[in-house]
Structure 1
Amino acid sequence: MNSEDSVNSGSKEVIRKRIKAVRNDMDRDDRAQRSKLICRRLSALPEYVNAINICAYISKGNEVDTRLIVERAWADGKHVYVPKVYGQDMEFIEITDYGELASGNFGILEPVSDDFEEIEDGLMFMPGIAFDHSRNRIGFGGGYYDRYLARHAGLVTVALAYEFQIVDKIDSEPTDIRPHIIVTESEVIS
Structure 2
Amino acid sequence: MQPYPVVPRIPADQPFVVRPSVRKRVFLFGGFTLAVLAVLGCVLGLGAIGSENAVALLAMFGLIALFFVALFGLQIWLLTSGGPVLAVGPAGLWIKTRPTRGQAIWLPWEAIGLISRRRWSLEKMLCVAPRDPRAEQNLGAFTALDAGVMKAFFGTGFTATLNFADKSEQEILQAVAHFAAGRVQLA
- Shared fold by TM > 0.5? no
Shorter chain as denominator, the TM-score bin is under 0.3
* TM-score, length basis structure 1: 0.27
